[in-house]
A and B are shown apart, each in its own frame.
Chain A
Amino acid sequence: QKEVEQDPGPLSVPEGAIVSLNCTYSNSAFQYFMWYRQYSRKGPELLMYTYSSGNKEDGRFTAQVDKSSKYISLFIRDSQPSDSATYLCAMGRGGSEKLVFGKGMKLTVNP
Protein backbone atom coordinates (compact mmCIF):
# COMPACT_ATOMS: atom_id res chain seq x y z
CA GLN A 1 0.00 0.00 0.00
CA LYS A 2 1.37 3.39 -1.00
CA GLU A 3 1.87 5.91 1.79
CA VAL A 4 -0.24 8.54 0.02
CA GLU A 5 -2.95 7.88 -2.55
CA GLN A 6 -4.46 10.57 -4.76
CA ASP A 7 -6.81 10.09 -7.68
CA PRO A 8 -4.98 11.58 -10.67
CA GLY A 9 -8.18 12.53 -12.49
CA PRO A 10 -8.44 14.48 -14.68
CA LEU A 11 -11.40 16.41 -13.30
CA SER A 12 -13.34 18.89 -15.42
CA VAL A 13 -16.02 21.17 -13.90
CA PRO A 14 -18.00 24.22 -14.99
CA GLU A 15 -17.15 27.64 -13.61
CA GLY A 16 -18.80 28.26 -10.26
CA ALA A 17 -18.85 24.59 -9.22
CA ILE A 18 -17.69 23.35 -5.84
CA VAL A 19 -14.65 21.14 -6.25
CA SER A 20 -13.57 18.44 -3.82
CA LEU A 21 -10.08 16.97 -4.02
CA ASN A 22 -8.99 14.15 -1.73
CA CYS A 23 -6.03 12.12 -0.55
CA THR A 24 -5.79 9.10 1.69
CA TYR A 25 -2.75 7.96 3.57
CA SER A 26 -1.62 4.91 5.49
CA ASN A 27 1.02 6.23 7.90
CA SER A 28 -0.46 7.47 11.16
CA ALA A 29 2.82 9.28 11.93
CA PHE A 30 1.94 12.07 9.49
CA GLN A 31 1.26 15.24 11.46
CA TYR A 32 1.21 18.06 8.98
CA PHE A 33 -0.62 18.27 5.70
CA MET A 34 -0.35 20.55 2.72
CA TRP A 35 -1.92 21.24 -0.62
CA TYR A 36 0.21 22.54 -3.46
CA ARG A 37 -1.06 24.03 -6.72
CA GLN A 38 0.99 23.60 -9.87
CA TYR A 39 0.22 25.50 -13.04
CA SER A 40 1.37 24.03 -16.33
CA ARG A 41 5.15 24.27 -16.79
CA LYS A 42 5.61 25.88 -13.36
CA GLY A 43 6.86 24.72 -9.99
CA PRO A 44 4.43 23.69 -7.22
CA GLU A 45 3.36 26.52 -4.92
CA LEU A 46 1.95 26.12 -1.43
CA LEU A 47 -1.80 26.64 -1.25
CA MET A 48 -2.83 25.40 2.21
CA TYR A 49 -1.03 24.12 5.32
CA THR A 50 -2.72 22.28 8.19
CA TYR A 51 -1.20 20.84 11.32
CA SER A 52 -2.99 17.79 12.80
CA SER A 53 -6.78 17.41 12.44
CA GLY A 54 -9.38 20.01 11.69
CA ASN A 55 -10.38 22.56 9.09
CA LYS A 56 -8.63 25.61 7.70
CA GLU A 57 -10.24 28.17 5.46
CA ASP A 58 -8.59 30.74 3.19
CA GLY A 59 -10.93 32.61 0.90
CA ARG A 60 -12.54 30.15 -1.48
CA PHE A 61 -10.33 27.29 -0.29
CA THR A 62 -10.95 24.97 2.67
CA ALA A 63 -8.61 22.22 3.79
CA GLN A 64 -9.89 19.40 5.99
CA VAL A 65 -7.90 16.74 7.81
CA ASP A 66 -9.50 13.66 9.35
CA LYS A 67 -6.70 11.76 11.07
CA SER A 68 -9.00 9.03 12.36
CA SER A 69 -9.92 8.12 8.78
CA LYS A 70 -6.47 9.04 7.37
CA TYR A 71 -8.17 11.29 4.83
CA ILE A 72 -7.57 14.87 3.74
CA SER A 73 -9.63 17.09 1.47
CA LEU A 74 -9.37 20.39 -0.35
CA PHE A 75 -12.59 22.19 -1.24
CA ILE A 76 -12.73 24.99 -3.77
CA ARG A 77 -15.88 27.11 -3.74
CA ASP A 78 -17.06 29.16 -6.72
CA SER A 79 -14.34 27.66 -8.89
CA GLN A 80 -12.77 29.90 -11.52
CA PRO A 81 -10.93 29.16 -14.78
CA SER A 82 -7.80 30.47 -13.03
CA ASP A 83 -8.08 27.49 -10.63
CA SER A 84 -7.24 25.16 -13.53
CA ALA A 85 -4.04 23.46 -12.41
CA THR A 86 -2.71 20.26 -10.92
CA TYR A 87 -3.25 19.95 -7.16
CA LEU A 88 -0.85 17.87 -5.11
CA CYS A 89 -1.34 16.80 -1.53
CA ALA A 90 1.75 16.46 0.66
CA MET A 91 2.31 15.14 4.18
CA GLY A 92 5.09 15.17 6.70
CA ARG A 93 6.09 13.48 9.92
CA GLY A 94 7.07 15.42 12.97
CA GLY A 95 10.82 15.92 13.18
CA SER A 96 11.45 15.08 9.53
CA GLU A 97 11.99 17.62 6.79
CA LYS A 98 10.94 15.20 4.07
CA LEU A 99 7.46 15.31 2.57
CA VAL A 100 5.53 12.56 0.85
CA PHE A 101 3.53 13.76 -2.14
CA GLY A 102 0.44 12.45 -3.85
CA LYS A 103 0.67 12.07 -7.60
CA GLY A 104 -1.48 15.13 -8.25
CA MET A 105 -4.99 15.69 -9.63
CA LYS A 106 -5.37 17.75 -12.81
CA LEU A 107 -8.34 20.12 -12.55
CA THR A 108 -9.88 22.06 -15.42
CA VAL A 109 -12.54 24.72 -14.73
CA ASN A 110 -14.45 25.54 -17.89
CA PRO A 111 -15.85 29.08 -18.43
Chain B
Amino acid sequence: NAGVTQTPKFQVLKTGQSMTLQCAQDMNHNSMYWYRQDPGMGLRLIYYSASEGTTDKGEVPNGYNVSRLNKREFSLRLESAAPSQTSVYFCASSEGSGQETQYFGPGTRLLVL
Protein backbone atom coordinates (compact mmCIF):
# COMPACT_ATOMS: atom_id res chain seq x y z
CA ASN B 1 0.00 0.00 0.00
CA ALA B 2 1.30 3.43 -0.95
CA GLY B 3 -0.99 5.18 1.55
CA VAL B 4 -1.56 8.82 0.55
CA THR B 5 0.32 10.09 -2.48
CA GLN B 6 0.63 13.67 -3.70
CA THR B 7 1.85 15.21 -6.92
CA PRO B 8 3.83 17.27 -7.63
CA LYS B 9 6.41 17.32 -4.83
CA PHE B 10 7.51 20.85 -5.63
CA GLN B 11 6.17 23.61 -7.87
CA VAL B 12 7.07 27.19 -8.69
CA LEU B 13 4.34 29.44 -10.06
CA LYS B 14 4.13 33.03 -11.12
CA THR B 15 1.42 35.24 -9.66
CA GLY B 16 -1.82 34.71 -11.54
CA GLN B 17 -1.00 31.24 -12.85
CA SER B 18 -3.23 28.30 -12.06
CA MET B 19 -2.43 24.77 -11.03
CA THR B 20 -3.98 21.64 -9.56
CA LEU B 21 -2.48 19.62 -6.73
CA GLN B 22 -3.33 15.94 -6.94
CA CYS B 23 -3.94 13.54 -4.07
CA ALA B 24 -4.82 9.87 -4.05
CA GLN B 25 -5.25 7.28 -1.29
CA ASP B 26 -5.40 3.51 -1.52
CA MET B 27 -6.78 2.76 1.95
CA ASN B 28 -10.46 2.83 0.93
CA HIS B 29 -11.00 5.82 3.20
CA ASN B 30 -14.19 7.84 3.00
CA SER B 31 -12.86 11.21 4.18
CA MET B 32 -10.12 13.32 2.63
CA TYR B 33 -8.60 16.68 3.58
CA TRP B 34 -6.39 19.43 2.27
CA TYR B 35 -4.20 21.42 4.69
CA ARG B 36 -1.61 24.10 4.34
CA GLN B 37 1.30 24.42 6.75
CA ASP B 38 3.08 27.71 7.29
CA PRO B 39 5.81 28.61 9.81
CA GLY B 40 4.25 29.68 13.10
CA MET B 41 0.73 28.88 11.89
CA GLY B 42 0.61 25.12 12.14
CA LEU B 43 -1.69 23.00 9.98
CA ARG B 44 -4.76 24.81 8.71
CA LEU B 45 -7.64 23.03 7.02
CA ILE B 46 -8.48 24.37 3.56
CA TYR B 47 -11.22 22.00 2.42
CA TYR B 48 -12.38 18.54 3.30
CA SER B 49 -14.59 15.84 1.85
CA ALA B 50 -16.45 13.71 4.37
CA SER B 51 -17.49 11.25 1.68
CA GLU B 52 -17.47 10.82 -2.08
CA GLY B 53 -19.59 13.53 -3.66
CA THR B 54 -19.39 16.03 -0.79
CA THR B 55 -16.97 18.85 -0.06
CA ASP B 56 -16.93 21.50 2.67
CA LYS B 57 -14.91 24.57 3.49
CA GLY B 58 -12.37 24.51 6.24
CA GLU B 59 -10.62 27.33 8.04
CA VAL B 60 -8.88 28.98 5.06
CA PRO B 61 -10.78 28.20 1.81
CA ASN B 62 -10.42 31.52 0.00
CA GLY B 63 -8.50 31.26 -3.27
CA TYR B 64 -8.92 27.49 -3.54
CA ASN B 65 -11.33 25.01 -5.08
CA VAL B 66 -11.51 21.25 -4.67
CA SER B 67 -12.87 18.27 -6.52
CA ARG B 68 -13.56 14.85 -5.08
CA LEU B 69 -13.09 12.99 -8.30
CA ASN B 70 -13.93 9.58 -6.84
CA LYS B 71 -13.40 7.78 -3.55
CA ARG B 72 -9.62 7.63 -4.09
CA GLU B 73 -8.83 11.09 -5.44
CA PHE B 74 -9.19 14.62 -4.06
CA SER B 75 -7.66 17.54 -5.95
CA LEU B 76 -6.96 21.11 -4.89
CA ARG B 77 -6.98 23.89 -7.48
CA LEU B 78 -5.49 27.36 -7.32
CA GLU B 79 -7.22 29.39 -10.03
CA SER B 80 -5.04 32.49 -9.78
CA ALA B 81 -2.05 31.95 -7.54
CA ALA B 82 -0.92 34.68 -5.14
CA PRO B 83 2.34 34.97 -3.15
CA SER B 84 0.29 34.47 0.03
CA GLN B 85 -0.40 30.93 -1.18
CA THR B 86 3.27 30.02 -0.91
CA SER B 87 3.15 27.14 1.52
CA VAL B 88 3.50 23.40 2.02
CA TYR B 89 0.27 21.59 1.17
CA PHE B 90 -0.66 18.28 2.74
CA CYS B 91 -3.42 15.92 1.77
CA ALA B 92 -4.78 13.50 4.37
CA SER B 93 -7.41 10.79 4.58
CA SER B 94 -9.36 8.98 7.29
CA GLU B 95 -11.90 6.19 7.49
CA GLY B 96 -14.69 8.69 8.06
CA SER B 97 -16.40 7.20 11.09
CA GLY B 98 -15.72 10.29 13.19
CA GLN B 99 -13.12 9.29 15.76
CA GLU B 100 -10.25 7.94 13.79
CA THR B 101 -6.85 9.19 12.84
CA GLN B 102 -5.85 11.01 9.70
CA TYR B 103 -3.05 9.75 7.48
CA PHE B 104 -0.96 12.30 5.68
CA GLY B 105 0.78 12.42 2.33
CA PRO B 106 4.36 13.63 1.86
CA GLY B 107 3.34 17.17 0.92
CA THR B 108 3.69 19.58 -2.00
CA ARG B 109 5.96 22.58 -1.60
CA LEU B 110 4.55 25.53 -3.56
CA LEU B 111 6.38 28.78 -4.23
CA VAL B 112 4.43 31.62 -5.83
CA LEU B 113 6.60 34.43 -7.17
Contact = CB atoms under 8 A, between A and B. Distances in A.
Contacts of A32: 99
A8 B102 CA distance: 22
B74 interface: no
Interface residues of B, number: 23
Interface stretch (B12-20, B40-48, B60-68, B76-84): B40-48
Interface string A27-49: 00001101010000111111001
A34 B43 CA distance: 14
Interface stretch (A10-18, A66-74, A75-83, A94-102): A94-102
B104 interface: yes
Contacts of A51: 99
B43 A97 contact: no
B41 A34 contact: no
Contact of B40 (A44, A49, A103): A103
Given A44-B90, A88-B43, A95-B98, 4 more contacts: A6-B42, A97-B94, A103-B40, A104-B42
